[in-house]
A = this chain, B = another copy of it.
Amino acid sequence: MNYTSEEANILVQALPYIQRYAGKIIVIKYGGNAMIDDDLKIGVCRDVVLMHYVGMKPILVHGGGPEISAVMQKLGKEPEFVDGRRVTDAETMEIVEMVLAGKTNKGIVSIINNLGGRAVGLSGKDANLIVAEKADGDVDLGFVGQVAKVNPMILTDLLEHNYIPVVSSVAIGPNGESFNVNADHIAGEIAAEVGAAKLMMMTDVPGIYSDFADKSTFISELKVADAKRMIRSKQIGRGMIPKVEACMTALAGDVERTHIIDGTMSHSLLMEIFTDTGIGTMIVP
Instruction: Let me know if A230 is at the binding interface, CB within 8 A.
Output: no
Interface residues of A in 46-85 (CB under 8 A from B): 46-47, 49-50, 53-55, 71, 74-76
Checking B3, B118, B178, B277 against A14 with a beta-carbon cut-off of 8 angstroms, the contacting residue is B3
Of the candidate stretches A25-33, A136-144, A244-252, A265-273, the one touching chain B is A265-273
Interface residues of A in 238-285 (CB under 8 A from B): 265-267, 270-271, 274-277
Instruction: Let me know if A7 is at the binding interface, CB within 8 A.
Output: yes
CB neighbours (8 Å) of A110 from chain B are 125, 172, 176-178
Instruction: Let me know if A154 is at the binding interface, CB within 8 A.
Output: yes
Instruction: Let me know if A9 is at the binding interface, CB within 8 A.
Output: yes
* Given A113-B125, A120-B154, 18 further pairs, Cβ under 8 A: A2-B271, A3-B13, A3-B270, A4-B271, A8-B267, A9-B267, A15-B46, A18-B50, A19-B116, A54-B54, A97-B103, A102-B103, A102-B105, A110-B125, A114-B175, A118-B128, A120-B126, A127-B163
CB neighbours (8 Å) of A54 from chain B are 18, 53-55
CB neighbours (8 Å) of A102 from chain B are 97-103, 105
| A58 shortest CB reach to chain B, Å | 14
Checking B46, B98, B175 against A103 with a beta-carbon cut-off of 8 angstroms, the contacting residue is B98
| A87 shortest CB reach to chain B, Å | 19
Checking B7, B103, B276 against A2 with a beta-carbon cut-off of 8 angstroms, the contacting residue is B276
Instruction: Let me know if A190 is at the binding interface, CB within 8 A.
Output: no
Of all chain B residues, the one with the shortest Cβ separation from A102 is: B102
Of all chain B residues, the one with the shortest Cβ separation from A108 is: B125
Instruction: Let me know if A121 is at the binding interface, CB within 8 A.
Output: yes
Q: Are A53's CB and B15's CB within 8 A? A: yes
Instruction: Let me know if A16 is at the binding interface, CB within 8 A.
Output: yes
Interface residues of A in 90-122 (CB under 8 A from B): 94, 97-103, 105-106, 109-111, 113-116, 118-122
CB-defined A-B contacts under 8 Å, sample of 11: A2-B271, A3-B14, A7-B10, A75-B75, A97-B106, A98-B102, A101-B101, A101-B121, A110-B176, A110-B177, A157-B161
| A63 shortest CB reach to chain B, Å | 14
Q: Given A18-B53, A50-B18, A275-B2, do A12 and B267 touch, yes or no (CB 8 Å)?
A: yes
CB neighbours (8 Å) of A123 from chain B are 106, 109, 121
| A177 shortest CB reach to chain B, Å | 8
Instruction: Let me know if A233 is at the binding interface, CB within 8 A.
Output: no
Give A145-173 as 1s and 0s: 1 = Cβ < 8 Å from B's Cβ atoms: 00000000010011001010000001010
